[in-house]
A and B are shown apart, each in its own frame.
Chain A
Amino acid sequence: MLISTRARLIRLALMAGLAALGVSGIAAAKSPTKTKTKYYSRQLSALPKGVSLSGKPYTPAVKRLKQTQTLTVGIPSKLELEAPVFLAYDEGEFAKEHLRINFVYDTVPDLLTLLGENKVDLVYAGAQAAVFNALKAGVPIRWVSGVASAAPDSGLYMSDKYGTSSTFNPSVLKGLTIGVNPGGLAAPSEYGLYAALKKGHVSPSQITMVPFSNISAMVSALNAGQLQGATVGPPYTAGITPGTAFQAEPGYPSTIQIAGYFATTNLTKNHRAAGIAFFQAIERTINTYLHGNYHKDQIVMHLLSQELGTTTQQLGAAPPVPFNLNIPPATLPALQQMYATVPNTLSYSGLVKPSQLVDLSLVVDAAEGQ
């Protein structure tokens, strides 16, 4: 009896031990799944309902990093679209977050290469075909924020010979020579031209696209009548001689976004806190200085003119940029449809889904003060 009781006790103890091992094993097995699920649920391909990326001045509140961290930001040009990052730098918004920012100036293809090699942390760029192809080639690139809704004066400008803004018939584009930004229809800045071609049932191969790296030269060629049309955005729209050209098609609809900041999972995953701090500073700068008609604010305009290497008069000639960090869901299909119209532009078939490329989690966490 005694033996059988002892044996039962030993058996019970063994069973309890095994059960404990089993539970801990399951827990151990479950724990990475939990992390993984948490990580993937953090990749937000759309703005959650009720979340707004804009707010009152001086919000989101400063939430300092425990230790000062450094981010390297790639910038291809100094345009008003990049005003938030320069103003945040000037106003010490990054420093408040214990964030040190280094700027690297280069072309978008070079910056994307540096990004893929983790030599820069964030790149300001258009969502060009290269971004989609790089993702498909295995670069863990993420589109982490938008930049602005279309400026009202950006888009396709046509010579006055082809009518007016209200009477323009896009079918006349056939056979014409149009000045475009580098990359042509492989760059999102040409969305206005693409929309006009679509409306006029004109194929991209039926027009002559002349790319210009020097946009001032393109505007001069449009003014001189050497181009019949050109895609122009601010501040270059101010250079169009009145009476020579009219806005035939706006830049892009409010349902899509064409540019913003790109990062890799190295930032969104490994240096997440720094990424959130960066966008907290950016959002606070937009909310404080760059909302509404900020062109009336002389101090802001003075700072911007200094940072962008221009004058307040030149900046003021164009309407203020409607900054908007969101990337609407219609963006990716719309851009990929545009790129697919030009042969050899997209290196893959099918569509890249927003869940593969877009990750708004940094800007959302920044807005919510996470």
Chain B
Amino acid sequence: MTPRRERARDSGAVVTVTRAPAAVDVDPTRYARRRRAVGTVLAWGTPVLLILLWQIAASSGWIDVRFFPAPATVWKAGVAAFGNGTMTSAAEATIAKLLIGYGIGVIAGVALGLLLGLSWIARSSLEYTLIALYTLPKLALFPAFLLIFGIGWTPQVVLVGVSVFFIIVLATMTAVVSVEAGYRDAATVFGANRAQLLRHVILPAAMPAIGTAIRLTAGIGILVIVGIEMVSGSSGLGYLIFERAQVFDPATMYAGVIVAGLIGVIFTALVTLLLRCAIPQQRPRLRRR
């Protein structure tokens, strides 16, 4: 506090602070539209700039195009791979495995997390076992999954599900346990039964944290599925990337990497959109900065 203000406060004078209206105060709709437009330009402009730099580096000979082809070459290889169906079938396989594994992991994780959050007996029995299993490197378990679930998609789907499940279950449990006791007490005082308490108090209070875990694991899901496809199986983008590297076809390989990245972006965006619809707290708010 400045000495002048301190003096004013000590003298008991009323200090009026005024500020000029910001753009958001003058016309919030226009401000929001403008901010969206700038955001869109920045979101698309950054990757475009990076690709441009990559192209310049390739054209100028700063990078060895035999190993790191120019974006134009990667584009051509990608178009050819979509044309002959290899990229399409690989992307379809990856998306299908991702959706099934991720879906199972999220549903099972939220269900068990709620149970653990609500029941201290369940929590006492399973919490530390789950933490121990969560810290295990899942890829190291893959040979066991192969033996249990056989060859094909199933072990890969299970691996994605398991990787997502542990994060969701622990996040959900923590979110439920962290709901303030005051909220529960207030609802109980008003005569809420257990189901009403869960529906109207615990779930709404825990959903933002659960939603954040669901959103974060969307990216983990794509990382796991592409990673495991690279070391096992004969389908999906990971397999395509690995197989193209094996035959020294870097252009198609990088096209596969980019497609995997795009799937990750689209999938995460879809999950975010769904969460925004379902959880009011996840919706963006207009801020001045």
Q: Which residues of B contact A328 (CB under 8 A)?
A: none
Contact A347–B233 (Cβ < 8 Å): no
CA distance A104 to B243 in the complex (A): 22
With contact pairs A211-B234, A216-B143 given, residues A116 and B247 touching in the complex (Cβ less than 8 Å): no
Say yes or no: A129-B246 contact (C-beta < 8 A), given A217-B143, A221-B151: yes
Q: What distance in Å separates the Cβ of A134 from its nearest Cβ neighbour in chain B?
A: 5
Q: Tell me whether A128 and B234 are in contact (CB under 8 A).
A: no
Q: Which of A129, A138, A211, A345 contacts B233 (CB 8 A)?
A: A211
Q: Does A206 contact B (CB under 8 A)?
A: no
Per-residue 0/1 for B80-100: is the Cβ within 8 Å of any A Cβ (1 yes, 0 no)? 000010100000000000000
Q: Is the CB of A187 within 8 A of B143?
A: no
Please state if B143 and A186 are interface contacts (CB–CB under 8 Å).
no
| A129–B151 touching, CB < 8 Å | no
Measured in the bound complex, the distance between the Cα atoms of B84 and A361 in whole Å is 42
- A231 CA to B267 CA, complexed, in Å: 38
Q: Which residue of A lies closest to B69 (CB)?
A: A137
A156 at interface, CB cutoff 8 A: no
Distance A209 CA – B86 CA, assembled complex (angstroms): 16
**How many Å from the CB of B49 to the closest CB on chain A?**
26
Interface membership of B128, Cβ < 8 A: no
Within 8 Å by CB of A347, from B142, B143, B232, B248, lies B248
Residues B36-75 near A (CB distance < 8 A) = 64, 66-67
Task: Give Cα A216–Cα B151 distance, bound, in whole angstroms.
Answer: 14
Q: Are B147 and A134 in contact (CB under 8 A)?
A: no
> How many Å lie between the Cα of A182 and that of B246 in the bound state?
8
B242 at interface, CB cutoff 8 A: yes
Q: How many A-B residue pairs have CB under 8 A?
A: 87
Q: Which of B86, B147, B245 has most chain A Cβ within 10 Å?
A: B245
Q: How far is the CA of A120 from the CA of B223 in the complex (A)?
A: 30
The answer, yes or no, to whether B249 is at the interface (CB within 8 Å) is yes
Given known A-B contacts A183-B243, A217-B146, A226-B146, A133 and B231 have beta carbons under 8 A apart: no
The answer to whether B150 has its CB under 8 Å from any CB of chain A is yes
Is B143 a contact of A220 with CB atoms below 8 Å? Answer: yes
> How many B residues are at the interface, by size bracket?
20 to 34
Question: Closest CB-CB distance, B256 to chain A, in whole Å?
Answer: 13
> In the complex, which residues of chain B have a beta carbon less than 8 angstroms from the beta carbon of A112?
248
Could you tell me if A211 and B232 are in contact, using CB atoms closer than 8 angstroms?
A: yes
Q: Are B234 and A183 in contact (CB-based, < 8 A)?
A: no
Mark contacts of A104-141 with chain B using CB atoms, 8 A cut-off: 1 yes-contact digit, 0 otherwise. Answer: 00011100110011000000000011110110011100
Q: A177-214 CB contact bits vs B (8 Å, 1 = yes)?
A: 10000111011000000000000000000001111111
Q: How many residues of A contact B (CB 8 A)?
A: 40
Bound CA span A14–B245, Å: 65
Chain A CB within 10 Å, residue with most, of B84, B146, B150: B146
Docked CA distance A345–B246 (Å): 9
Which residues from chain B contact A210 at a C-beta distance below 8 Å? 151, 232-234
Bound state CA distance, A226 and B67, in angstroms? 38
Q: A127-170, CB under 8 A of B: which get 1 and which 0?
A: 01111011001110000000000000000000000000000000
Tell me whether A344 is interfacial, beta carbon within 8 Å. yes
- Chain B residues with Cβ under 8 A from A131's Cβ? 248
Q: Is the CB of A134 within 8 A of B248?
A: yes
Cβ of A360 to closest chain B Cβ, rounded Å: 23
- Once the chains are docked, how many angstroms separate the CA of A134 from the CA of B154? 35
CA distance A224 to B147 in the complex (A): 8
Q: Does A212 contact B232, Cβ atoms closer than 8 Å?
A: yes
Residues of A within 8 A of B246 (CB): 108-109, 128-130, 182-183, 186-187
* The one of B66, B231, B242 that contacts A116, using a Cβ cutoff of 8 Å: B66
Nearest to A137 among chain B residues (CB) is B66
- B-contacting residues, A209-257, CB 8 Å: 209-214, 216-217, 220-221, 224, 226-227
With A and B bound together, what is the CA distance between A177 and B234 in angstroms?
11
Taking a contact as CB atoms under 8 Å apart, the answer to whether B231 and A128 are in contact is no
Beta-carbon contact of B249 and A133 below 8 Å: yes
**Chain A minimum-CB-distance residue to B143:** A217
Asked if B248 and A129 make an inter-chain contact with CB atoms under 8 angstroms apart, the answer reads yes
Q: How distant is the Cα of A210 from the Cα of B146 in the complex, in angstroms? A: 12
A129 CA to B245 CA in the complex, in Å?
A: 10
Question: Contacts A137-B66, A216-B143 hold; do A208 and B234 have CB atoms under 8 A apart?
Answer: yes
In Å, the complex CA distance between A134 and B250 comes to: 10
Show 5 A/B contacts (Cβ-Cβ < 8 Å), sorted by A.
Answer: A133-B247, A187-B246, A210-B233, A220-B146, A226-B150
Lowest 4 A-B CB distances belong to which pairs?
Answer: A130-B248, A133-B248, A217-B143, A183-B246
